[in-house]
Amino acid sequence: MKTRGRIRSMFEKGGSLERLWPLLDAAETFLFRLPARTSGGAHIRDAYDLKRMMMIVVLALFPCMAFGTYNVGYQFYASAGIAAGHLDCLIKGLWVVVPLYAVTFAVGGFWEAFFALVRGEEINEGFFVTGTLIPLVMPPTIPLWQLALAVSFGVVLGKELFGGTGMNVFNPALVSRAFLFFAYPKSISGAGVWVLKGDRMVDAVSGATPLHLGIEPVGDIVPYLSSNGFDFWRMFSGLEPGSIGETSVIAILMGAALLLVTRVASWRIMLSVFAGGAAMALLCNAFAPSPASMLALPAHYHFVMGGFAFGAVFMATDPVSAAGTNAGKFIYGFLIGVLAVLVRTLNPAYPEGMMLAILFMNLFSPLIDYMVVRLNMRRRRLRAAG
Amino acid sequence: MRNMANYRLRKGYDIRIEGQAEKILETAPFPAAVGLYASDFYGMAPKALVDGGERVKVGTPLWHDRRRESLVVASPVSGTVAEVRRGARRALEAVIVRTDGKQQAAKSAPPPKRTGPSNRKEIISALCASGLFPLIRQRPFGTVADPLAEPRDIFVTAMDTSPLAPDQELILRGREREFRRGIEVLAALTTGKVHICTAGGMELDSHTSGLENIEHHQFTGPHPAGNAGVHIHHVAPIKGVDDVVWHCTAQGAILLGRYFITNIPSFEVTVAVAGSAAADRRHVRTLIGAEISSFARPNDSSSPVRYISGNVLTGRNAGADGFLGFSDSLVSLIPEARGKKFLGWLALGFSLESVSASFISRFLPRRRFSIDSNRNGSVRAFVATGIYERLLPMDILPSFLLKSILAGDIEEMEKLGILEVTPEDFALCEYACPSKTDIQRIIRDGIGLMLKETGETE
């Protein structure tokens, strides 16, 4: 106790390590619920705080993280034609995923601490969720140095320049991904990056994601996907190439259940993303020139392919970058679904439309809120007049 | 009296806090001292009229408003002024009177016998002189009512949904005649209607049958369904800065009525003693401004306790030697926060109360929790979590109203509904805010800004 008091005094005002106070504070608030008392205003406060909220999102991501790790190993052995055990798949996956997390948290944590020290503010827990998300939206083959650059870009330009947690316009994890997408497209698009490959490769395996195959189907699209090993239930379960965390809809649904039960994420957004995607898919189906076109892909296939489900559950629902009004959330989510399917079906250069759809709607969420707020003002004015 | 609609509100939340007062009514020992706080009279600019050592009687003015000198705050007891407490720049904070137990009344003309719109002026001047007039509050802004204003309607709040609220039936029991007279007095003050708002299912006919221009509205739903601001919003909303509505509590109406029956101002009220740190949780009859220690004590003297006059969301931290607030009918004693909790944010939360569904406690809906004064987290930036929106049963966008106040944009504030709210309407949002923002202070600041803008001083 005495030692801790002495260490503490070094960090307090006038102490030799005064400038590093945010580091001590972060460590303390992380470890303890401090007995800070209410003063002025409400005398009691809800046990819930932002830290708790973020921990729940991280918890909700665990199934995706676990399955994704397994799938990295599984895809590796499958591409090599080796029948490996579950444990082997998991170990191989950990071999890839653990370094990705280590780099992400080292780089992201550095920037968070750096900005907190410069501003003299507390280090906040905002990076927890971003840092957990980033490796999950990366291909398993991403070079670590590119990941480090992407994390820096996402945290510094995506968040800190706007003023830090709560102030950002875009989802920082998606900013990181978008950075790679435009700066190092070869590392994060195309058919070659989604499966970790060894020296030995079985010729029959292309390593392309189902979305890629969908661009130019040979024959009717659904049977074509199926003949390549991507029937609906396989994609639902997630044993397919793709970004690490996005493939298993089962894992995503487990996370979604936690987020919805705890009401941490907005059901309005989640629901309307799927509604928008379904509506757009149906529209595309109606105009599909032939069943051998991406336009003919049924809605429920869109939901299990690529990052649609992952984006709807974990990215679109980020409260900071989403619309803030309840009515606005419906519009925001619906348009994300529409745009994601639109990009997928009509623009073969970007088979994955989800990331762009969410970033685009991040940009428009203040406008949507603005319109909802004006409508509220109008309704209130009319009521006062009547 | 007309029975009107039953409003069923879905938004809001009842905090599952332990320590409700039992439905027992006792008479508290006569207090040795009473104190009145200037901050209980929002909108008044107080000028003290007494000095320390001076003798006062029941109804003797202790201070008045600088601009409207007829608006006074009066002593609820006879005795000697013990202290005139002043704060920064000598602003009046409180006046404390040591009682002599005799309860001699100050000489004053009795209130008019007949009450009707024709002698409205007489009624108001009698209420002002008695010191009872500040029981009436005014919207917009929730200030003490302005005796010169002419209210469009008057709302009587005969319900309370706040945490550990006193039992309304107990407050009204045996006071039916006084309550009825109070409603008559209020009805004479407005050309509009008196709206009595009660909890769903509450019978009022026996209290107010045969009275004209009275409407009875019933509100059902979680807190803040019992707030005057919520009632006004749903029944007859504030339309602009000049659309004045008055409101008072059922207890207030009883005091007004009693004055017109007995001709002597009475400051005797029913108060609940509640909270998990309080011993003998019950209701007591005592005086406005009474020493809290005269009727409430903690159940464990070894650990620190917070004495709150009012409810745990909006009340004043009065301290062990504090006094019952002017408009309060509840004293809440809760434990002060102590000790660190290791990895608190990881707790499963069997014993943690939360609006959110992120603790196991969510699935124990009948459990009541001992809640201490812990802030439960550090202050963070606003995040639009959607929680406020679930807690405010009005057609108002809470986050956007708050942002417009922070931006100091008067025009936006008005359009977004600042005229319809007071800090207490946002107290639940403050409780639940995961960023631990001082939301009531923000609303108070916004109202202060509006008052300055509309030419009145705070």
Band (pLDDT 50/70/90 cuts) for residue B343 is low
Tell me: pLDDT of A103 over 70. yes
Residue A1 has pLDDT above 50, yes or no: no
B448: nearest Cα among B231, B69, B142, B240: B142
Q: Is A41 on the interface with B (CB under 8 A)?
A: yes
Tokens 């002017």 found at? B326
Q: Which among A47, A372, A383 has the least Cβ separation from residue B352?
A: A47
**Which of A242, A277, A271 shows the shortest CA–CA distance to A259?**
A271
Whether residues A300 and A359 fall in one domain: yes
Q: Is B435 on the interface with A (CB under 8 A)?
A: yes
Question: Structural domain tally of chain B?
Answer: 2
Within this chain, do residues B225 and B328 fall inside the same structural domain, yes or no?
yes
Q: Is residue A204 part of a domain?
A: no
Final residue belonging to a domain, choices B337, B353, B369: B337
Q: Is the pLDDT of residue A5 over 70?
A: no
Instruction: Say how far apart CA A335 and CA B138 lie, in whole Å.
Output: 45
The residue-averaged pLDDT of A72-85 equals 89
Which domain covers residue B230, as residue numbers?
A: 1-337
Q: Is B129 helix (H, G, I), strand (E, B) or coil?
A: helix
The reply to whether A184 and A243 lie within a common domain is no
Domain membership flag for residue A205: no
Tell if the CB–CB gap between A33 and B376 is shorter than 8 Å: yes
Indicate whether A91 and A162 sit together in one domain. yes
Is the same domain home to B235 and B165?
yes
Does residue A57 lie within any of the structural domains? yes
Residue B61 and residue B141 share a domain: yes
Number of domains in chain A: 2
For every residue of chain A, which 3-state class applies, written as one string?
CHHHHHHHHHHCCCCCCHHHHHHHHHHHHHHEECCCECCCCCCCCCCCCHHHHHHHHHHHHHHHHHHHHHHHHHHHHHHCCCCCCHHHHHHHHHHHHHHHHHHHHHHHHHHHHHHHHHHCCCCCCHHHHHHHHHHHCCCCCCCHHHHHHHHHHHHHHCCHHHCCCCCCCCCHHHHHHHHHHHHCHHHHCCCCCCCCCCCCCCCCCCCCCHHHHHHCCCCCHHHHHHHCCCCHHHHHHCCCCCCCCCCCHHHHHHHHHHHHHCCCCCHHHHHHHHHHHHHHHHHHHHHCCCCCCHHHCCHHHHHHCCCHHHHHHHHCCCCCCCCCCHHHHHHHHHHHHHHHHHHHHHCCCCCCCHHHHHHHHHHHHHHHHHHHHHHHHHHHHHHHHC
**Is A185 a member of any domain?**
yes
In a domain, B8, yes or no: yes
Determine whether A378 is exposed, middle or buried from the number of CB atoms within 10 Å of its CB (0-12, 13-18, 19+): exposed
Shared-domain flag, residues B234 and B151: yes
Say whether both A163 and A226 belong to one domain.
Answer: no
**Which chain B residues contact residue A46 at CB under 8 A?**
353-356, 376, 431-434
Q: Mean pLDDT throughout A257-282?
A: 96
**Residues A311 and A354: beta-carbon distance below 8 Å:** yes
- Confidence check: pLDDT of A285 > 70: yes
Residue B377 lies in a domain: no
Kind and range of the H or E element at B412?
A: helix B410-416
- Among the partner-chain residues B238, B342, B374, the one whose CB lies closest to the CB of A35 is B374
Note whether B120 and B220 are same-domain residues. Answer: yes
Q: What is the pLDDT of residues A295-319, one digit of tens each?
A: 899 999 999 998 999 999 999 999 9
What does pTM read for this prediction? 0.92
pLDDT of amino acid B340: 66
What length does chain A have? 386
Asked, for residue A313, whether it belongs to a domain, the answer is: yes
pLDDT in tens, B387-432: 999 999 999 999 999 999 999 999 999 999 999 999 999 999 999 9
Q: Which domain holds residue A290?
A: 217-386
Is A315 a domain residue?
Answer: yes
pLDDT (mean) for A54-80: 94
Overall average pLDDT of the B80-102 stretch: 95
Chain A residue whose CA is closest to B346: A52
Instruction: State how far residue B81 is from chain A, nearest Cα, in angstroms.
Output: 28
Residues A188 and A224 in one domain: no
One domain for residues B324 and B391: no
Question: Of B208-212, B246-250, B294-298, B342-346, where does mean pLDDT reach its minimum?
Answer: B342-346
Residue A114 placed within a domain: yes
Indicate whether A262 and A292 sit together in one domain. Answer: yes
- Domain assignment present for B129: yes
Touching check for B415 and chain A: CB below 8 Å?
Answer: yes
Name the minimum distance, in Å, from the CA of B266 to any CA of chain A: 30
Could you tell me if A105 and A169 lie in one domain? yes
B225 domain-assigned: yes
> What interhelical angle do A249-261 and A267-287 show, nearest 10?
140
CA–CA separation, B355 and B430 (whole Å): 11
Q: Are A79 and A197 in contact, with CB atoms under 8 Å apart?
A: yes
Query: Judged by CB atoms within 8 Å, which residues 152-181 of B form the interface with A?
Result: 163
Q: Is the pLDDT of residue A202 over 60?
A: no
Same domain assignment for residues A26 and A171: yes
Is the backbone of residue B197 left (phi > 0), alpha (psi -120 to 50) or beta? beta
pLDDT at A201 over 60: no
- Å between A198 CA and nearest CA of chain B: 40
Rounded average pLDDT over B289-308: 94
The reported pLDDT for the residue numbered A203 is 54
**Same domain, yes or no: A271 and A171:** no
Same domain, B1 and B149: yes
The pLDDT value recorded for residue B457 is 46
When pLDDT is averaged across residues A263-279 and rounded to a whole number, the result is 96
CB contact under 8 A, B356 and A38: no
Q: pLDDT digits over B157-170, tens only?
A: 999 999 999 999 99
- Is residue A76 one of the residues assigned to a domain? yes
Residues of A in contact with B344 (CB under 8 A): 32-33
Give CA–CA dist B214/B4, Å, rounded: 10
Answer yes or no: do B332 and B391 share one domain: no
Q: Does a structural domain hold residue B345?
A: no
Q: What residues contact B188, with CB distance under 8 A and at least 6 apart? A: B115, B116, B117, B119, B120, B123
Domain end position, chosen among A166, A198, A230: A198
- Are B24 and B128 contained in the same domain? yes
Q: Token digits for B65?
A: 């408003």
Q: Chain A contact for B228, CB < 8 A? A: no
Distance CA B20, CA B275 (A): 6
Question: Which of B238, B307, B342, B345 to substitute to test the interface with A, most A CBs within 10 Å?
Answer: B345
For chain A, say whether B245 makes contact (Cβ under 8 Å): no
The reply to whether B58 falls in a domain is yes
Q: Please report residues of B whose CB lies closer than 8 A to that of A40.
A: 438, 441
Comparing A199-203, B77-81, B278-282, B380-384, the range with the smallest average pLDDT is A199-203
Lowest mean pLDDT among A31-35, A93-97, B105-109: A31-35
Residue whose C-alpha is closest to residue A342's, from A260, A270, A278: A278
| Stretch A6-32: mean pLDDT | 69
Q: Count of alpha carbons within 13 Å of B67, Cβ hemisphere only? A: 10
Report residue A31's pLDDT band, with 50, 70 and 90 as the boundaries: low
* pLDDT tens per residue across span B220-255: 999 999 999 999 999 999 999 999 999 999 999 999
| Residue A80: predicted pLDDT | 86
DSSP 8-state assignment for residue B196 = E
Over residues B6-37, the pLDDT tens digits come to: 999 999 999 999 999 999 999 999 999 999 99
A311 and A346 housed in the same domain: yes
Indicate if B430 and B310 belong to the same structural domain: no
